[in-house]
Amino acid sequence: MEAASKALALSSDALMAARDQEGFWRGDLKADTTLESDYVLLQLWLHPPVDGEWKPPTWDRIRKAARSILDRQLPDGGFNIYPKGPSEISACVKAYTALKLAGIDAHSPEMLKLRERILDLGGVQAANSYVKINLSLFDLYPRDHVPTVPPELVLLPGDALYEMSSWTRAIVVPLSIVQAVRPPKPLPRGFHLHEIFSDKPLHYDTGIKPSWRNFFLWVDRALKLWDKRAIKQIRGWALREAEHWILDRCRHSEGLGAIYPAMMYSIMALDALGYGPDHPDLLEAIRHFDSLLVETEDRFYFQPCTSPVWDTAIAAFALGEAGTVPKEDLTPSADWLLTKEVRRKGDWSIKRPNLEPSGWYFEFANEYYPDIDDTAMVLLALEHAKSSHPEKQERAERRAIQWILGMQSRNGGFAAFDVDNDMEILNQVPFADHNAMLDPTCPDITGRVLEALVRRGVPPSDPAIQRAVDYLLGSQEAPGCWYGRWGVDYIYGTFLAMRGLERSGERRAAEAIRRGAA
C-alpha cells in the first residue's frame, strides 16, 4: 500500500506539473502515416508544378514527411493503421504516392518492397474510395471509376444530409465541391503510379440481384451522367450552398469539424472555388490545419485533431477521485472548462430543434459539434472541480444534463454527436468503405453517460436512466463483455458499461456486472 500511495502522489504531481497555466491539459494525439501522406498530396494541390518542375515552398516539410513515413515502414514493406497491425492497402498506396512525390527513388529498396506489398494486397484497385477519389483529382486514377459525390447533396430535403455521421458530412460536402469544380492540377513531369496497379478491374461490379449495394451503384452511374450534364443554375446553387455550409461551420471553430480530413478537404474546396492564396478564409483554414503539426528539426507528424477539453476533463476527474490535491487547485481547470460550453445550435439541432444548446466538444473550438461523450466526462470532472463562479457552473451543469437527456436515441443508448444516426442502408453507398458512415449508439458512451447522469443528480428511477440500463443489458455480448467503439474494443466498452450499470444501482444489472468482471 505504501508503494501504491507513493506512486499515486508522484503521478498526481506529474499531472499537475503538465497543466497549462490557463488551467487546461493537452496531450499530443498520434495517428498512422496516412496523415503525413495526405499532407504531401495537399501540397501538390496547393502548389502545382510549373512547366513540369515541382518546387513547392513547403519542400522542407515534405521531406520531413517522407522521413517520418519511412520510419514506420513494416518489415514486409507495408504500412499499418494501428500499432502492431498488418499492412493495410490504403495506407500503403498513400505512402507510396507521397514518398514518390517527395523524391524517394522508386527503385530504392524501401520503395521496391512497398510496391511488392501493394501488389500482393491487390494494387491501387483494392484501396478505399477516398484514396481513389484523391488520386483521380490528379488523373492518377480514372474518374469514371470512383464514386461521385455531388454538391446537390446539400439541397436534399429534410435532414437527409444529417443521416450521415457528423465527420462524414464534414468530409463529403467540401469533397463534393472539389469533385464538381475539379480545377486542372498538373503533376511533376513524368510522374505516374502505373507500377502499383494490379491486373484487377477498375470498375465496381454491379450485379443483377436486388440489393442496396447494387441500387446505390446504379445511382452512382446516374450521378455520373448528371455530373456531366448538370443544369448550370442548379449546380451553381448547390455549390453556393455547399460553400456557405463550410464557411458557417468554420466560424467559432479551429477548422471544419476541427478534424484533419474535413479540414484538408475544406482547404481544397476553397482553393477550387477561386479563393486566392491571400484570402483570409483560406489562410485561416491553412493556419488551423498546420496547427495540428508536431514538428522537430528533421521529422514531423500530424495529429488528427486536438484534445484539450477531453484531456482536461479526464485529468481533473482523476485528480478529484484520487483526492491527492486540494480542491481549490482544480478551480482554474473548472473555470477554463466553463469557457468551452457550447451556447449556439449546431448540426445536432437539425433533429433536436427545440433543445437548448449546451455540451462540450473535444478540441479548443468546435461549436457546431459538441459531443455527448465529452459532455458526460466534463460533468464528471465538475463534480470535483469547482469554479470561482459557482452559480455559473451550476447553470452550465443543469443545461448540460438536459442537453444529454435530449440526445438519447430511440433505442435508449447514446452516440457521439447525433441522435438516431443509424440508417444502415447508407453503409452500402460506394463511398462508405471508410467504415464510419454512421454514428450509432454504443455501450462505451452510454455507460459513461449513465454514470455521469446518476452521479450528477438524475434519479435512477428516471425513464431515461431505465432506458439506458435496458440498452446496456441488451448489448452485452455472450462472453459477458461489451464492445467499445471509441477505445480499445472490449476492454474499453466493458469497463464503461460496468461503471454505468453499477452506478445505476439496478438489482437487475448485478448478474451482467458479474459476467463482465469475470
Grid look-up 446537390 returns 152
Residue 120 among the catalytic residues:
no
Residue type, 218: W
* SS3 call for 456: coil
- Nearest-angstrom CA–CA distance, 509 and 506: 5
Residues in the chain: 518
In this structure, what C-alpha cell is assigned to residue 370? Answer: 459538441
- Nearest-angstrom CA–CA distance, 451 and 377: 10
Whole-angstrom CA distances from 96 to 75, 201, 407 are 15, 21, 43
- Residue 350 φ/ψ, nearest 5 degrees: -60, -40
- Nearest-angstrom CA–CA distance, 96 and 468: 46
* SS3 call for 137: coil
Residues β-bridged to residue 366: 253
Grid look-up 470498375 returns 203
Whole-angstrom CA distances from 389 to 339, 341, 364 are 11, 14, 21
In this structure, what C-alpha cell is assigned to residue 93? Answer: 498506396
201 Cβ contact list (under 8 Å, min separation 6): 125
Of 150, 146, 169, the closest CA to residue 239 belongs to 150
DSSP string, 202-235: SSPP--SS--HHHHHHHHHHHHHHHHHH--HHHH
- Nearest-angstrom CA–CA distance, 475 and 314: 26
DSSP state of 353: T
In this structure, what C-alpha cell is assigned to residue 380? Answer: 464528471
For 342, the enclosing helix (H) or strand (E) is none
User: Residues 373, 418, 439, 444: which is the catalytic one?
Assistant: 373
Catalytic site positions: 373
